[in-house]
Amino acid sequence: MVSIKAWALPKSRRNKPPHFSKSQVATVLEQVATLLKLKDANPFRIRAYENGSRTIASLDRDLWELSESGEITGVKGIGKGIAALIGESLGEGTWGDLQSLYDETPAGMIEMLAIPGLGPKRIKQLHDELGIDSIDELSAACNDDAISSLEGFGEKSQQKILDGIDLLARFQGRRRLNVGLLYGEAFEAMVAKIDGVEHAQLAGSARRRRETVGDLDIVAAVKPENVEAVTEAILAIPDITEVKGAGDSKVSVVLEASILEHGMDLGTIDGGVFHAIGGDDYSGMESSGTIDAQVRMVPPHVFAFTLAYFTGSKEHNIRMRQLAIDNGLRLNEFGLIDDEKAGDLKGLEAAKFSLEAKNEEDIYHHLGLDWVPPELREDMGEIEAALEKTLPRLVMPTDLKGSFHNHTILSDGVATLEQMAAAAMDMDWEFLGIADHSSLLNIGGRQIGADAEDMLEQGGKIRSLNELWSDGGKNFRLLHGAECDILSDGSLDYDEETRRQLHHVVASVHQLSTWRARDEVENTEALIKAIEDPTMTILGHPTGRILQSRDGFDVDIHAVLRRMGELNAEGELKSVEINASPYRLDLDWRYCRFARDQGVPICINPDAHNTTGLRDVWFGVQIARKGWLEPKHLLNCYTGEEIESLLSK
Ligand code: DGT
Ligand code: CA
Ligand code: ZN
């Protein structure tokens, strides 16, 4: 089933020092720390490698310079042994006696690290007590109920391990959009820089902004006489850990995280998400992960066809090809070819009889279609709309004038009202909705949410800040909301009197375990009760899913949206959120059009927990676009004045 590559020490691709990059060294040290944990080695030794890895990753000096000059021994966090190891690896390209450590650890134990919530300590215990060496064995042991009786485990953790294995198998090899784009854009830029590459562009699911990305598809315009040299230059990129194939104008490789110039930025993760994805274990997994990538080189005049083809989706391509056939044309990655003239010719030879296309627009126009934005290319009605010239004018990040669901230090955010407001003004927003957690929210037994009294006091602060801005002629206001927990019976946290004093109530489910243990009927009923509460304005992260980590609870989302539509028709304001955190992207894009058609306004919410978290709205915009949404469907695109008066009613 699942196959994750075992770890390997990087091999030098250069014949002179420095043989490795800083991030390669940091990764090795981090892996060594984990391997030592799997052996239950001396904690001081483990900590030395952990500290070394962290120190090097955040070093702003050139590592080779430091090492050569000997200054490295004076850097805090790097011990003598590790300094020597770094010197050897950079200078000689070898890793001391680390190879044996890598060799003696069963690959299966490393694979197990990817199971959410299973850290090295427990993997070691499973190995020692039950001889478990692989995910398959672990899965079998869970099914035989052999795990629950181990010390420190129980029925619950046994089930959690099974769920984790299941998720891993399903998401294997895919990365979330934010991570996929980090890799994809870095690789695209590197390929584009190579001499002989006229232009290069990321295609595939990343260009279509799917919520997760399998592999990266790069299309490069390269004249035939340069293909060989460009191939060589691509293969020399140091962040390639493995070459799967090269030749025939195509290169298939595996990229590692060192390609990310600014490191693996995991964005802002709220406590709930962090917990769900396995806490600290997860960030280690994330930054030591890899992604497959392919580069296809084609002659410049063919580029637009190849780009369109590898942007996909497959389903969209099939429809396009059929349209071409209906017009006596043959559409493929090389051209839009006169079928009769091309006869038995194939590939680039047949493409000599292609219509010309300087860009993708030309291809669509040749077939009588408007150009279809990549996000819509899923064969979900875009071909028909492009024929009828009724494609939507998709929302853009600059259309947004604010958002509604963000946190401050009053709950689990780390910035103040003033800091969040300043960051929103920097984005040229006219309003920012604050929605700190309500009192019932606990994470790991600790109260995260604000008591009603403190929540109302925040309202006072917001009012005086708003007066200040208004008096100063500044077109900006904070909106005072709360993220009220939806209890299992569908009632909302806080008393009604408190909720009535807010601009808006974001109602969200956080007690996932209860909701996930129930069936769809009960959950739908409870959710509908929540939205019927007169004070509820926005349904927050409607299913509670965490991408690549846990499914949401079962719910008839159509029924919920339909009910919201009815309430809107009666003059109430009931909006559904696209939670823009790249870990959530919930509401799913597949339901956006249904919401729109029911007359449910949608809002994109970054659910920011610090000032940079506001930038996550960008991912929400991508999903809204994928869901066909226009500015008029989004509450974010109202002016500050409009939204203030709407919510003050
Ligand atoms: P992924 O990588 O799983 O996230 O998804 P995609 O969409 O990037 O799929 P991928 O990488 O297998 O292929 C890239 C594009 O190439 C795909 O979106 C459409 C095109 N393509 C691949 N295979 C076929 C095929 O058999 N028929 C057609 N018409 N197009 C294909
Ligand atoms: Ca792909
Ligand atoms: Zn929130």
Model confidence at 262, pLDDT cuts 50, 70, 90, reads low
pLDDT tens digit sequence for 24-67: 898 899 899 999 999 889 999 999 999 999 899 888 888 999 99
**Segments of the chain assigned to CATH 1.10.150.110:** 22-104
Please state the separation of Cα 481 from the chain's center in Å.
27
- Lowest mean pLDDT across 174-183, 259-268, 379-388: 259-268
Output the pLDDT for position 23. Answer: 78
Token pair belonging to 578: 């696209």
The residue nearest atom 21 of ligand 1, judged by CA position, is: 314
CB 539 within 8 A of CB 564: yes
The residue nearest atom 9 of ligand 1, judged by CA position, is: 204
Q: How far is the CA of 215 from the centre of ligand 2 (A)?
A: 4
Quote the Cα angle for 579-581-583, to 5°. 110
Question: What DSSP state is assigned to residue 450?
Answer: B
Q: How far is the CA of 604 from the centre of ligand 1 (A)?
A: 29
**Segments of the chain assigned to CATH 1.10.150.20:** 107-171
Q: How far is the CA of 311 from the centre of ligand 2 (A)?
A: 8
Model confidence at 116, pLDDT cuts 50, 70, 90, reads confident
Model confidence at 384, pLDDT cuts 50, 70, 90, reads very high
Beta bridge partners of 506: 483, 538
Average pLDDT for 372-392: 98
Q: By percentage, how much of the chain surpasses pLDDT 70?
A: 95
Query: In this predicted model, which residue has the larger pLDDT, 156 or 595?
Result: 595
pLDDT tens digit sequence for 619-633: 999 999 999 999 999
Q: How far is the CA of 378 from the centre of ligand 1 (A)?
A: 11
Q: Phi and psi (nearest 5°) for 4?
A: -110, 145
**Segments of the chain assigned to CATH 3.30.460.10:** 175-298
Quote the Cα angle for 630-631-632, to 5°. 90
CA of 313, nearest ligand number: 1
The residue nearest atom 19 of ligand 1, judged by CA position, is: 312
Model confidence at 268, pLDDT cuts 50, 70, 90, reads low
CB 403 within 8 A of CB 636: yes
Q: Phi and psi (nearest 5°) for 572?
A: -85, 170
Residue 347, C-beta contacts closer than 8 angstroms, at least 6 positions apart: 334
Model confidence at 644, pLDDT cuts 50, 70, 90, reads very high
pLDDT tens digit sequence for 535-591: 999 999 999 999 987 889 999 999 999 999 999 999 999 999 999 999 999 999 999
**Segments of the chain assigned to CATH 3.30.210.10:** 302-388
Output the pLDDT for position 2. Answer: 37
CATH classification for the domain delimited by 302-388, as one of 3.30.210.10, 3.40.50.720, 3.90.550.10, 3.40.50.9100: 3.30.210.10
Helix residue ranges, H only, 263-381:
271-276, 279-287, 303-311, 314-326, 339-342, 347-350, 360-366
Helices (H) and strands (E) in the chain, counts: 29, 18
Fold of 107-171: DNA polymerase; domain 1 (1.10.150)
Token pair belonging to 218: 């790069």
Helix residue ranges, H only, 360-451:
360-366, 382-388, 417-426
Q: Which CATH architecture best describes the domain 22-104? A: Orthogonal Bundle (1.10)
- Lowest mean pLDDT across 271-285, 475-489, 497-511, 536-550: 271-285
Helix residue ranges, H only, 330-475:
339-342, 347-350, 360-366, 382-388, 417-426, 452-471
Q: How far is the CA of 483 from the centre of ligand 3 (A)?
A: 6
Output the pLDDT for position 93. Answer: 93
Of 583, 405, 612, 620, the C-alpha closest to 508 is 405
Residue 327, C-beta contacts closer than 8 angstroms, at least 6 positions apart: 367
Other Cβ atoms closer than 10 A to 155: 11
Token pair belonging to 545: 């899913």
Q: How far is the CA of 114 from the centre of ligand 1 (A)?
A: 26
Output the pLDDT for position 296. Answer: 98
Output the pLDDT for position 580. Answer: 97
pLDDT tens digit sequence for 327-353: 999 999 999 999 999 999 999 999 999
Token pair belonging to 42: 């001396």
Of 78, 94, 84, the C-alpha closest to 19 is 94
Output the pLDDT for position 172. Answer: 65
Strand segments, DSSP code E, in 538-597 are: 538-539, 575-579
Rounded to 10 degrees, the C-alpha dihedral 562/559/211/516 comes to 150
Output the pLDDT for position 3. Answer: 41
CATH classification for the domain delimited by 397-648, as one of 3.20.20.140, 2.60.40.60, 3.90.950.20, 3.20.20.70: 3.20.20.140
Q: Cα(325)–Cα(186) distance, rounded to whole angstroms?
A: 37
Average pLDDT for 225-254: 93
CA-based torsion, 612, 614, 616, 622: positive or negative: negative
Model confidence at 257, pLDDT cuts 50, 70, 90, reads confident
Output the pLDDT for position 281. Answer: 58
Beta bridge partners of 478: 432
Which pairs count as long-range contacts for 276-282, CB under 8 Å and 24+ apart, including other chains? 276/116, 276/546, 276/549, 276/550, 277/116, 277/546, 277/548, 277/549, 277/583, 278/116, 278/117, 278/118, 278/549, 279/117, 281/113, 281/116, 281/117, 281/118, 281/119, 282/116
Output the pLDDT for position 260. Answer: 82
CA-based torsion, 459, 462, 468, 472: positive or negative: negative
> Looking at the predicted structure, is the pLDDT value of residue 1 above 50?
no
Model confidence at 475, pLDDT cuts 50, 70, 90, reads very high
Output the pLDDT for position 256. Answer: 86
Average pLDDT, the chain: 92
The residue nearest atom 25 of ligand 1, judged by CA position, is: 314
**How many CA atoms does the CB half-sphere of 413 hold within 13 Å?**
28
Mutate to test the pocket of ligand 1, among 207, 255, 305, 310 (most ligand atoms within 8 A of CB): 310
Task: Pick the atom of ligand 1 nearest to 204's CA.
Answer: 8
Average pLDDT for 367-374: 98
Average pLDDT for 596-620: 96
pLDDT tens digit sequence for 303-312: 999 999 999 9
Cis bond upstream, residue 587 (ω within 30): yes
Please state the separation of Cα 516 from the chain's center in Å.
23
Of 577, 568, 578, 588, the C-alpha closest to 620 is 578
Token pair belonging to 7: 């770890």
pLDDT tens digit sequence for 393-444: 999 999 999 999 999 999 999 999 999 999 999 999 999 999 999 998 877 7
Question: What DSSP state is assigned to residue 577?
Answer: E
Task: Pick the atom of ligand 1 nearest to 312's CA.
Answer: 18
Q: Cα(111)–Cα(131) distance, rounded to whole angstroms?
A: 15
- Please tell me whether residue 538 adopts helix, strand or coil conformation: strand
Question: What DSSP state is assigned to residue 226?
Answer: G
Other Cβ atoms closer than 10 A to 391: 19
Output the pLDDT for position 12. Answer: 82
Cis bond upstream, residue 508 (ω within 30): no
Pairing assessment for the beta strands 335-338 and 329-332 based on DSSP bridges? antiparallel
Quote the Cα angle for 446-450-456, to 5°. 170
Output the pLDDT for position 592. Answer: 98
Residue 95, C-beta contacts closer than 8 angstroms, at least 6 positions apart: 9, 28, 85, 88, 89
- Lowest mean pLDDT across 170-179, 211-220, 260-269, 620-629: 260-269
Residue found by looking up tokens 């979900």 in the block: 380
> Looking at the predicted structure, is the pLDDT value of residue 5 above 60?
no
Q: Which CATH architecture best describes the domain 175-298? A: 2-Layer Sandwich (3.30)
Question: What DSSP state is assigned to residue 247?
Answer: E
Average pLDDT for 191-206: 98
Q: How far is the CA of 482 from the centre of ligand 3 (A)?
A: 9
Task: Pick the atom of ligand 1 nearest to 316's CA.
Answer: 29
Task: Pick the atom of ligand 1 nearest to 317's CA.
Answer: 29
pLDDT tens digit sequence for 127-178: 999 999 999 999 999 999 999 999 999 998 999 898 888 777 766 678 999 9
> Looking at the predicted structure, is the pLDDT value of residue 250 above 60?
yes
Average pLDDT for 473-500: 97
Output the pLDDT for position 287. Answer: 67
